[in-house]
Homo-oligomer: A and B are copies of this chain.
Amino acid sequence: MSEDIGVFELTPQKEIYSRINKLQEKMGEEEVELTLLIQNVDLFYFSGTIQKGFLFIPLGEKPVFFVQKNYERATMESPLRCIKTQGIKTLPNLLREFGLKGKRVGMELDVVPVSLFYKIKDLFREWEIMDISEQIKEVRSVKSEFEITQIKKSGKIIDKVFSEAKYYLKEGMSELELDAILNSIGRTNGHQGFLRMRGFNQEMPNIYVLSGDDACMTSFCDAPISGYGATPAIAQGSSARRIERDRPIIIDYGGGYNGYITDETRVFVIGRLKRQLERAYRTALNIVEDMESFAKEGVLAVQIYERAKEIAAKEGLAPYFMGYGEEKVSFVGHGLGLEINEWPIIGRGFNRPLQAGMVFAFEPKFIFPGEGAVGIEMDYIVSKGGVERVTQFPGEIISL
């Protein structure tokens, strides 16, 4: 890892234009003549810079990025044509000047807030605005070679953190203490700082360290395991609880390198787990092994979910799989990229086939009320013939 720290890797020009071409194809299918992108992560994906501005992508023509702040930095990082703008009110004139036309216009309506949307609508009354976010998610779901290289570097941060965890984990320390140490190991090894999650109210810490039945507390997040957090104001992640012997310690850590997120979970124990928990962990490993045996391009994401559920049910573990009681979630995996909740969703209702280049986290987990949670999460790259792991760290329980 360390040889890569500090290398400020820019997204190659060819890569940026290939992404834009893919979006333009989808725009063609939807008869969208012009797309306006303003969300920071989409800006980064389609321009190579996350600087503040308005990226216009016309159908079949070259895009123009009107940059509000910081223009100089945008020109350093983006291969696109960057034009300085003082703000939103200058856009109508700029669009005329640069010949950017369109009646049917795509915007990221899943994330753009209402008041900003109204300002834009007011400036362009002739626009018929449609939501282009599904098309963006589709384009972003298939990763290029460049992206897969970034994701593997992100995975190396996970390998490093999980490899070192056993040296720091001690009975009696608080979840927060271990959280702090592991997070700092990641950062020292080039972690970008935080993780991004698409959508309103979506947020997630880099790491969860949850011991014993702390892992049974769920929260507002759409995740099988949340924990208490250090405060009800955050309401997820590690707490001040002390780590005990013979209880599962579940560590969920998100790598982050050059924007790209990885997301894996391992179970640690000081001493020995109860039989029921050990058996559930072996079932989680079986589910992973089964997925690895058949997942590949063309397999429906929902099929993987259904098969995982079946294996859990055969072992009599259905009630504990991916949550308990009303707090069950209806997925066993999720796409990874610049955001932690990308496509594909390996879950109910996601009837799309896997495509080569998709990257997903697969996380069969079991929650036992009053006891704790066990399970695993590993990241995979889809290819024509199968799936390939992103990280190297082994899947077994780490016993101390």
Contacts and interface: CB of A to CB of B under 8 A. Distances in A.
A10 B231 CA distance: 9
Contacts of A238: 193
Contact of A235 (B73, B180, B203, B257): B73
A180 B176 contact: no
Interface stretch (A87-95, A104-112, A274-282, A305-313): A104-112
A172 interface: no
A231 to B, nearest CB: 4
A232 B258 CA distance: 7
A194 B203 contact: yes
A131 to B, nearest CB: 6
Interface stretch (A58-66, A184-192, A352-360, A384-392): A184-192
Interface stretch (A42-50, A290-298, A340-348, A375-383): A42-50
A15 interface: no
Copies in the complex: 2
A192 B234 contact: yes
Interface stretch (A16-24, A113-121, A138-146): A113-121
Contacts of A338: 233
A220 interface: yes
B113 A174 contact: no
The winner among A181, A220, A237 for most chain B CB atoms within 10 A is A220
A9 interface: yes
Contacts of A39: 200-201
A70 B180 CA distance: 27
B113 A200 contact: yes
- A interface bracket (residues with beta carbon within 8 Å of B): 35 or more
A239 B7 CA distance: 10
A200 B258 contact: no
A234 B191 CA distance: 11
A259 B115 CA distance: 26
A215 to B, nearest CB: 14
A50 B232 contact: yes
Given A8-B231, A200-B111, A235-B73, A177 B183 contact: no
Given A200-B116, A220-B40, A10 B180 contact: no
A361 interface: no
Given A184-B183, A200-B111, A192 B233 contact: yes
Interface string A199-213: 111010100000000
Interface of A: 5-6, 8-10, 38-40, 44, 48-52, 69-70, 73, 77, 107, 109-118, 131, 133, 174, 176-177, 179-181, 183-188, 190-194, 196, 199-201, 203, 205, 217-220, 222, 228-235, 237-241, 257-260, 327, 338
7 contacts: A5-B176, A38-B200, A38-B201, A39-B200, A49-B235, A109-B114, A192-B230
